[in-house]
Amino acid sequence: MARMKFLCDAGRCIECNGCVTACKNEHEVPWGMNRRRVVTINDGSPGERSISVACMHCSDAPCAAVCPVDCFYTTDDGVVLHDKDVCIGCGYCFYACPFGAPQFPGDGAFGSRGKMDKCTFCAGGPETDHSSAETEKYGRNRLAEGKLPICAEMCATKALLAGDGDKVSDVYRERVTYRGASAGAWGWGIAYSKGKQE
């Protein structure tokens, strides 16, 4: 079965935030919560690169490991989802997640954050597919319609790829091959520059 993955091609991401608003649009994510965000390293300097990050749907998900109420589950596709009805809003998944994917609607006074919300790989949640309960709590379920996450589908430069890990790798590998030197392969800039150098 396909194992779903995200890959953000830092060579193409221009921090247009299209992925961010596409996700907000599709799932009506409220103000203050960003399931996906774009982070730029070295902003304003040569070497500036941007990467779009949301939940990476880890194989050994730290969020699932630390959850006191064990509300996470992984689908057959490898998508990590959770049950908002069981979630107690303790915030542990946010501490454990390397990517900072879990988001909370509340601010945390007296530990009241509300139910954790995060990227679902547009795969909804434990409720019945396309039911109003699912849509209301988790957003749209695109995977059940045979579609892919909206963030990747709407990426301006196709930097963000999402889908079957094998296919994503193929796409990226093809790009790396085309790019040659600028992919960062050691020594290729000098050996295989295709006349780009003077």
Partner 1 sequence: MKLVKKVASQPENANHSQLGRSTMNRRAFLKRSGISVGGIAAASSLPLSMLQKKAHAAATPAASSGDETKTIRTICTHCSVGCGIEAEVENGVWTGQEPAFDHPFNRGAHCAKGAAVREHGHGERRLKYPTKLVNGKWTKVSWEQAITEIGDNLLKIREQSGPDSVFWLGSAKFNNEQAYLFRKYAAMWGTNNVDHQARICHSTTVAGVANTWGYGAMTNSYNDIHNSKAILVIGGNPAEAHPVSLQHIFRAKERNNAPLIVIDPRYTRTAAHADLFLRIRPGTDVPLIWGMMWHIFKNGWEDKKFIEERVYGMEEIKKEVEKWPPDEVEKVSGVPEDLVKKAAKLMADHRPGTFIWCMGGTQHTIGNNNTRAYCNFQLALGNMGTSGGGTNIFRGHDNVQGATDFCILSHSLPGYYGLSAGAWKHWSKVWDLDYEWIASRFDQNSYEEAAGKPAKPMNTKGIPVSRWIDGVLEDKEKIAQKDNFKAVVMWGHAPNSQTRGPEMKKAQEKLDMLVIIDPYPTVSAVMHDRTDGVYLLPAATQFETYGSVTASNRSLQWRDKVIDPLFESLPDHTIMYKLAKKLGFADQLFKNIKVNGEEPLIEDITREFNKGMWTIGYTGQTPERMKKQQQNWHTFNYTSLLAQGGPCNGEYFGLPWPCWGTADMKHPGTPNLYDMSKPVAEGGLTFRARFGVEREGVSLLAKGAYSKGSEIEDGYPEFTADMLKKLGWYNDLTDAEKALAEGKNWKTDLSGGIQRVAIKHGCAPFGNAKARSVVWTFPDPVPIHREPLYTSRRDLVEKYPTYEDRKSFYRLPTRYGSIQAKDYSKDYPLIMTSGRLVEYEGGGDETRSNPWLAELQQDMFVEINVVDANNNGIRHGDQIWVEGPEGGKIKVMAKVTEHGVMAGVVWLPFHYGGHFQGKDLRSKYPKGSDPYVLGEACNTAFTYGYDSVTQMQETKASLCRISRA
Partner 2 sequence: MHTLNQVNQPRRKLTLRSMIILVLIVIVAPLIPYSVAAVKEGLSNPNPGAQLWRDVRQRDGTVVGQTQARGVDSGILISKEGEQWRQFRMQQFTPYSAMIFAAVIGAFVLYFLVRGRIRIEGQRSGETIQRTTLVARYIHWFAAVIFVLLALTGLILLYGRWVLIPVLGPEGFSATAIACKNIHNYIGPLFLVSVVLLFFVFVRDSLFNFKVDTKWFLKAGGYLGGSHPSSEKFNAGQKAWFWVAILGGLVLALSGLVLDFANYGQGRILMQDAHIIHSISSVLVIAFFFVHVYLASIGMEGALEAMTSGDVDTNWAKQHHDLWYDEMKGQGGGKQDTEA
Among 2, 28, 69, 130, binds partner 2 (CB under 8 A): 69
Q: 13-52 as b/e, with b when 16 or more CB fall inside 10 Å?
A: bebebbbbebbbebbebeeebbbbbbeeeeeeeeeeebbb
Site membership for partner 1, residue 100 (CB under 8 A): no
Q: Which two tokens stand for residue 81?
A: 């989802």
Q: 50: which strand partners?
A: 40
Smallest distance from the beta carbon of 101 to partner 1, in angstroms?
Answer: 17
The alpha carbon of 27 is separated from its chain's Cα centroid by a whole number of angstroms, namely 14
Residue ranges in 19-48 that form contacts with partner 2 under rule CB under 8 A = 20, 32, 34, 37-43, 47
Contacts of 132 (CB under 8 A, 6+ apart): none
Name the one range near partner 1 by CB under 8 A: 60-68, 91-99, 121-129, 163-171: 121-129
Using alpha carbons, select from 38, 36, 33, 43 the residue that is nearest to residue 16. Answer: 38
Residue 127 contacts which entry, partner 1, partner 2, none (Cβ below 5-8 A, type-dependent): partner 1
Residue ranges in 16-35 that form contacts with partner 1 under rule CB under 8 A = 16-22, 24-28, 30-34
Site membership for partner 2, residue 51 (CB under 8 A): yes
Residue 99 contacts which entry, partner 1, partner 2, none (Cβ below 5-8 A, type-dependent): partner 2
Q: One symbol per residue from 147 to 186: x for binding partner 1 (CB under 8 A), - otherwise; what is it?
A: ---x--xxxxxx----------------x--xxx------
Site membership for partner 2, residue 55 (CB under 8 A): no
Q: 14: which strand partners?
A: none
CA-to-CA distance for 113 and 93, rounded, in angstroms? 12
Site membership for partner 2, residue 176 (CB under 8 A): no
Q: Could you tell me the CA-to-CA distances from 135 to 126, 152, 180 in Å, in that order?
A: 11, 20, 43
Site membership for partner 2, residue 68 (CB under 8 A): yes
Q: 80: which strand partners?
A: 74
Q: Which residues bind partner 2 (CB under 8 A)?
A: 10, 17, 20, 32, 34, 37-43, 47, 49, 51, 53, 62, 65-71, 83, 85-92, 94-100, 103, 107-113, 182-187, 189-190
